């Protein structure tokens, strides 16, 4: 843990080329002091491994990690080891003043996005780290550095457009991370729905009823259902009901009409149609076959022996 006082870096010492932006590619070492700054810094780990001292925390870092560092946040990167034979820790840095966010909000065009970015990039109490799983951030930093070091005609506008792309990519990564958390909670809720169906498939059930149990719309529930099961709700419920009827045909001497009703079918013709379509035989043929213990029956129901 770094406990010595933090030095402050001023943006006015960096914005010489264009007045609003500074980009570099640095090999981290043990000489740079713990520091804070009056600008926003986006720091992307491009190569190697090491540690990032942020406030009171020490975070292991590796390629693909992106840090959003608001003004006033004390931090410094350190390589894993001082040995020159180890792969270096390479970090891209892009810094700009918070006032630039207001200027770029017009380029972004959506106040919800620009407000969200401003909150995440200027609140010193909540530095954030993201992971660039698709290498989108990596490519944008390379383009930023190339344009910054070798400016051409229209470079100021070009740099601003690249920065807008970078900010929007950051926003998308943040939103995807949030949705992944929500999706994880949704998976738990959906697991309960499947358990409910196993126990109540013989009862009259509708898509609307089940969607309501998850507090989802029917359309969203239908999409998630197909995504998780590979089947529509109607096909899934028919398979569960026929599976139950097979269990009753195996384990009881109940009349087939009674088994149909116990499995959730009020209409005998519908039961016979679905049973033949799913198992390839009639209920009577199935019962006769399962009475021969030497011949296990392989059913199309979930590819299991029934």
Per-residue pLDDT at 171: 93
Domain assignments of the chain as residue spans, ordered by start: 7-179, 185-231, 234-290
pLDDT digits (tens, 9 = 90+) for 7-19: 999 999 999 888 9
At the topology level of CATH, where does 7-179 sit? Jelly Rolls (2.60.120)
pTM, two decimals, is: 0.61
Model confidence band, residue 51 (pLDDT cutoffs 50, 70, 90): very high
Per-residue pLDDT at 4: 54
Lowest model confidence (mean pLDDT) among 64-68, 100-104, 143-147, 198-202:
198-202
Domains 7-179 and 234-290 fall in the same CATH topology: no
Mean pLDDT on 204-233: 83
pLDDT digits (tens, 9 = 90+) for 117-160: 999 999 877 677 898 878 899 999 999 999 999 999 999 999 99
pLDDT digits (tens, 9 = 90+) for 230-274: 889 999 999 999 999 999 998 888 999 999 999 999 999 999 999
> Could you tell me which residue, 69 or 225, shows the higher pLDDT?
69
Percentage of the chain surpassing pLDDT 90? 58
CA angle 79, 84, 89 (to 5 degrees): 30
Architecture of domain 234-290: Orthogonal Bundle (1.10)
């Amino acid at each position: 843990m770094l406990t010595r006082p933090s030095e402050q870096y001023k943006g006015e010492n960096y914005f010489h080329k264009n007045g609003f932006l500074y980009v570099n590619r640095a090999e981290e070492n043990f000489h740079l002091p713990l520091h804070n700054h009056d600008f926003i810094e986006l720091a992307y780990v491009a190569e190697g491994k090491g540690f990032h001292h942020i406030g009171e925390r020490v975070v292991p870092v590796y390629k693909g990690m992106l840090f959003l560092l608001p003004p006033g946040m004390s931090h410094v990167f350190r390589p894993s080891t001082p040995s020159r034979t180890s792969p270096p820790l390479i970090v891209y840095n892009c810094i700009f003043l918070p006032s630039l966010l207001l200027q770029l909000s017009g380029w972004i065009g959506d106040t919800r996005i620009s407000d969200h970015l401003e909150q995440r990039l200027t609140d010193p109490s909540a530095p954030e780290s993201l992971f660039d799983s698709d290498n989108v951030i990596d490519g944008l930093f390379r383009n930023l550095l190339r344009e910054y070091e070798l400016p051409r005609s229209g470079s100021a506008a070009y740099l601003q457009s690249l920065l807008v792309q970078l900010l929007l990519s950051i926003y998308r990564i943040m939103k995807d991370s949030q949705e992944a958390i929500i999706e994880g909670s949704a998976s738990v809720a959906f697991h309960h729905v499947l358990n409910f169906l196993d126990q109540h498939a013989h009862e009259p059930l509708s898509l609307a009823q089940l969607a309501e149990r998850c507090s989802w719309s029917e359309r969203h529930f239908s999409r998630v259902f197909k995504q998780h099961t590979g089947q529509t709700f109607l096909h899934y419920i028919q398979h569960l009901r026929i599976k139950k009827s097979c269990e009753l045909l195996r384990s009881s001497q109940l009349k087939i009409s009674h088994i149909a009703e116990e499995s959730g079918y009020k209409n005998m013709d519908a039961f016979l149609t679905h049973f033949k379509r799913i198992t390839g035989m009639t209920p009577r043929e199935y019962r006769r076959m399962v009475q021969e213990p030497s011949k296990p029956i392989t059913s199309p129901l979930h590819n299991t022996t029934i």
